Structure 1
Amino acid sequence: MVYRPWFSAPRAFGLVAVVLALALDQAHKFWMLHVFDIGLRQPIRLTPFLDLVLSWNFGVSYSLLSSQTGATRALLVAFQLSIVGCLGYWLWRAPRRLTAAALGLVVGGALGNVVDRLTRGAVADFFFFHTALPVGPLANYVFNVADAAIFLGVVLLLLESFRTSATRPTPAAG
């Protein structure tokens, strides 16, 4: 067995991704809420399809399970942390750096939203993506840096799965 320092192992890339996603998300939220004060300036048009806004999400994606009660918030936090635990276990055992980094982005993003829910009572979203066409659920979508990290992590996991399946030998016909 070849010795590798801990920082070259795939899990190190995953842990760095967790820290980066969580730190960027929380720094962006702090800046938008307390320095830029988006609540007083919104909406700010960035492009014809993207605005800066302040939107509080008391539920999960698309405000599903939206509630402002402490019991619902505790249930959502417990659910999110259980998923983070499962993904963290997968990250720790990930065989490749890209897999670990992708899982780290998902875990870091999820933790960023958990921190919001625990400290602010809801998740702060700032980017409002909208189109004039009724193109499904993304026609009007509000998200934050944590959500973007989760999305990027999932896309990387999908790409990694295609790459992995392409390198597997096909079984011989018999």
Structure 2
Amino acid sequence: MLTAAVLLVDQLTKVWAVAVLEPGVRRPLVGELFGLQLIRNDGAALSIASGMTWVLSLVATAVVVVIVRVSRRLGSRGWAVALGLLLGGALGNLVDRMVREPGPLHGHVIDFLAYWRLFIGNVADIAIVVAAVLVVWLTARGIHVDGTRDDRHHDEDPAEPDDATDGAR
């Protein structure tokens, strides 16, 4: 459900941006901090790998396949949210690469959310970044995709007896 919502909002906002915004013209919303500026990006984030759209399309397809496979083991709500956001974001940008000009596997991603003068992104990018932060947070807390947790604090709690020495007391 989350994946579908991200994909829908991403694609609807891109349709809106193409219909309303003039390519390359920045519309400030919060001074220089944030604005709207339509660009067509043939690369990845920050226009890295420009001109490598077909490679990025294949990578995004692989990411989608891996997420779908990993999702079969889901036992954690946090991981479900992270993977739902990641899948929705990956699909949002992959749809652009498949259906937008200049053609399948070479389509340019629609970006329109301008942050400072640093980069321009879209809703799919936001979902991917939030997913990445969640993945780091869940991993740091020792929470696995299947819902199991690392027992990192067992040795640190002196009030809890050690199974190996419990019977010796």
Which of the five TM-score ranges fits, normalised by the shorter chain? 0.7 to 0.9
- Matches of 2:49 and 2:119, distance apart in 1: 17
Amino acid at match of 2:47: S
User: Please, which of 105, 108, 114 is the counterpart of residue 128 of structure 1?
Assistant: 114
More moved, 55-64 vs 83-92: 83-92
Matches within 5 A, 1:1-174: 16-34=1-19, 37-39=20-22, 42-48=25-31, 49-67=33-51, 72-120=52-100, 121-130=107-116, 140-164=118-142, 168-170=151-153, 172=155
- Matches of 1:17 and 1:156, distance apart in 2: 15
Give CA-to-partner distance per residue, 1:65-103, whole Å, 9 cap, x none.
211xxxx43332111100121122222212201101111
**RMSD of equivalent CA atoms:** 2.3
- Matches of 1:84 and 1:148, distance apart in 2: 17
- Matches of 2:18 and 2:116, distance apart in 1: 22
* Cα offset, 1:172, TM superposition: 4.0
TM-score by length of 1: 0.74
The answer to whether the 8 A contact 2:23-2:38 is kept is no
Q: Unaligned 5+ residue runs, structure 2? A: 101-106, 144-148, 157-163, 165-169
Q: Unaligned 5+ residue runs, structure 1? A: 1-15, 132-139
- Matches of 2:41 and 2:35, distance apart in 1: 17
Give CA-to-partner distance per residue, 1:91-141, whole Å, 9 cap, x none.
22122011011111011101100101111110010111116xxxxxxxx01
- Matches of 1:81 and 1:40, distance apart in 2: 28
Structure having the higher Rg = 2
Q: Secondary structure of the equivalent of 2:94?
A: helix
Query: What residue in structure 1 maps to residue 104 of structure 2?
Result: none
- Matches of 2:13 and 2:2, distance apart in 1: 16
The answer to whether the 8 A contact 1:92-1:100 is kept is no
TM-score by length of 2: 0.76
Ranges of 4+ aligned residues in structure 1 off by more than 6 Å: none
